[in-house]
Amino acid sequence: MAQGNQSVEEATTAAKTKTAKSDKATTRSATKRATATKPKRHTPSPVFLSRLEAHKAELESLFMSLYGERATATEDFNALLESMATAYADRPTDLKRLDKTREADPEWYKRGDMFGMTMYTDLFAGDLKKLADKIPYLKEQKLTYLHLMPLLQMPHPNNDGGYAVEDFDNVDPKLGANEDLAALAKKLRRAGISLCIDFVMNHTASTHRWAKAAQAGDPEYQDYYFCYDDRTVPDEYDAHVPQVFPNTAPGNFTYNEQMGKWVMTQFYPFQWDLNYRNPKVLVAMMGSVMHLANLGVEVFRIDAVPYIWKELGTNCRNLPQVHTIVRMLRIILECVCPAVVLKGEVVMAPKELAAYFGTPEAPECHMLYNVSIMVNLWSALASRDVRLLKNQIDQFDALPDNCWFVNYLRCHDDIGWGLDEDVERYLDIDPLKHKEFLYHFYEGAVPGSWSMGELYNYDEATRDARSCGTTASLTGIEKAIITHDKPLYETSIKRDLLMHQTMAFLRGFPMLNCGDEIGQLNGWDYKDDPDRVEDSRNLHRSKFDWDKAALRKKAGTLQNRLFKGMEGLREERHDPCFAPDAWVSTWDTFNDAVLAVVRKVDDAVLVGLFNFSELEQHVHLNPGADEQGDAVIKESLEADLAPYEARSIHL
């Protein structure tokens, strides 16, 4: 690397640009702001230079480990540095102040009062401007974190809920403009709410300008994807790479008639997998992340991150190069916008999760979605058996201290029944039979079921399926309302609250799915919409019912009871035992229907007991200590719990 020892100042201004090839005016430069026009020349800020100096050697080493053999590697690395310098120079003053605050409080997202919500902008309010008008409703719930589902420019109607992105730099016109996003982010920040959005790293929409250029025959942009003249290489990949959606979108490649090539499309045919072996792809995507951060985004949920690096002869999941890229992203953010944190969507076995946090010396994601706990909560509720849930919590609590999770019950996605089959077999549970029981239970097809959900992606060959529905409908509230069953109604509300209370007690911070706080039911009208009927996940993606929300202030209503229940969750999390450094562990109850979780900070101990049964239950907790030998429960604890009761006990 002839230029590897150049100064930071020289590196940040040395990158040269070239004009992108045009193809019927459908494409722009891959590194849009840095190379579409002559880059701005900045006098680098001492603050930026100091941050970069601390990380440049590692960043360059990581970059060259992926791209060092390419003739343009040094040029591409310098383009990345220039993009970073430009992004820092363009960063608004108020966000730079936030950076300084967060650098002094780097674990701000671990505070006990963190309380989140996820929603679709259009379903909740219509567009970004109207959502800004609804901030008082969010403040009423004392939210500190708001995750807006994909809102970047997307094709319509086929966009996989917004996860097919055709422009990573601009808001979808149906939702507003970049100025609206920036204004919303600022208003949320003033209200104490951090904005999270999705960043889809693995693929673009087939209508993205790069894909259009590739389809038009431009070899430069065909190298942004995985494009092949025949099936030879695709067949080699298919021999090792599992299918993501074998039923609804079989295969990992799609033949493009216009291009005359096979293109990798692991998710849907209209989502083209990006080729991160091309450094220009990485530089361009990092530029888009920094651009969005400068609009005020504070958290990025990086979608499908385990898939982003492809290698022949492997399953293209969780490869080492994935962690190299995530580490580089973390470094870039720490140099340009250290207020921003990364939340990974890693739907993998628990043993794969710790790697996505990196190490204390070389961190990657700040936090991950807690998919496994979500699945195990629903499994425990249907089976009235908490053993799998307890084991899963123990596995998570055993992870290093730098591992942090966002806990939730429902989100935009389905419930995929990915339980730990080895543990199931150890507990004499047949994995396939249990999975079938669960998804049939939650579609209401098992005798005694109170649930009203639907299957998603049923595979007749493997007998695999996932489940859809809102929390209220899955816990029995909808069935009780339809059947006018008052006892079932009362029990179902207890079930709903139990699930939220358990989720909020665990290590990490809780995130509600918008509508769950008022018991919103399934949106069956999706079946009348030809653009939505093919995807049963739309069952729980319905418009927010503002008329029902108004009932949250009327005592005795479903909406009031659940809203008050969520208020109780927030109040409890102000307890000192929810501090970021709290010691958290499960405890034996000698009762498979009851989960016990213990939190300890200094001499303060809080025990949570959660009855997952419709029957009264008795529990016994033995005295015991933590790993250092410090007493946690000093005397035996006995308790009787009502059906679906959640109880907190200070010791």
CA atoms of 194 and 342, how far apart (whole Å): 12
CA atoms of 33 and 37, how far apart (whole Å): 7
Residue 231 bridge partners (DSSP): none
CA atoms of 286 and 263, how far apart (whole Å): 23
Catalytic residue among 160, 218, 303, 496: 303
Run of H or E residues at 221: helix 219-222
CA atoms of 501 and 610, how far apart (whole Å): 8
CA atoms of 387 and 123, how far apart (whole Å): 37
CA atoms of 55 and 34, how far apart (whole Å): 21
CA atoms of 612 and 524, how far apart (whole Å): 28
CA atoms of 260 and 281, how far apart (whole Å): 22
Tokens of 51: 């941050």
Instruction: Give the orientation angle of helix 279-293 with respect to helix 73-90, to 10 degrees.
Output: 10
Catalytic residue among 167, 172, 198, 345: 345
Q: Contact 204/211 with Cβ under 8 angstroms?
A: yes
CA atoms of 418 and 423, how far apart (whole Å): 12
CA atoms of 443 and 412, how far apart (whole Å): 18
CA geometry: angle 435, 418, 391, nearest 5 deg:
95
SS3 391: helix
Residue 345 annotated in active site: yes
Q: 482: exposed, middle or buried (C-beta count within 10 Å: 0-12, 13-18, 19+)?
A: exposed
Q: 377: exposed, middle or buried (C-beta count within 10 Å: 0-12, 13-18, 19+)?
A: buried
SS3 138: helix
- Please confirm whether the linkage preceding 643 is cis (ω < 30° from 0): no
Of the CA atoms within 13 Å of residue 251, those in its CB half-sphere come to: 14
CA atoms of 169 and 271, how far apart (whole Å): 17
In this structure, is the dihedral angle defined by the CA atoms of residues 507, 511, 513 and 517, taken in order, positive or negative?
positive
SS3 282: helix
Helices (H), 294-319: none
Residue 303 annotated in active site: yes
CA atoms of 155 and 362, how far apart (whole Å): 37
CA atoms of 372 and 468, how far apart (whole Å): 16
- Cα 78 to the chain's mean position, in Å? 31
570: CB partners within 8 A, 6+ apart: 113, 115, 141, 142
* Active-site residue set: 303, 345
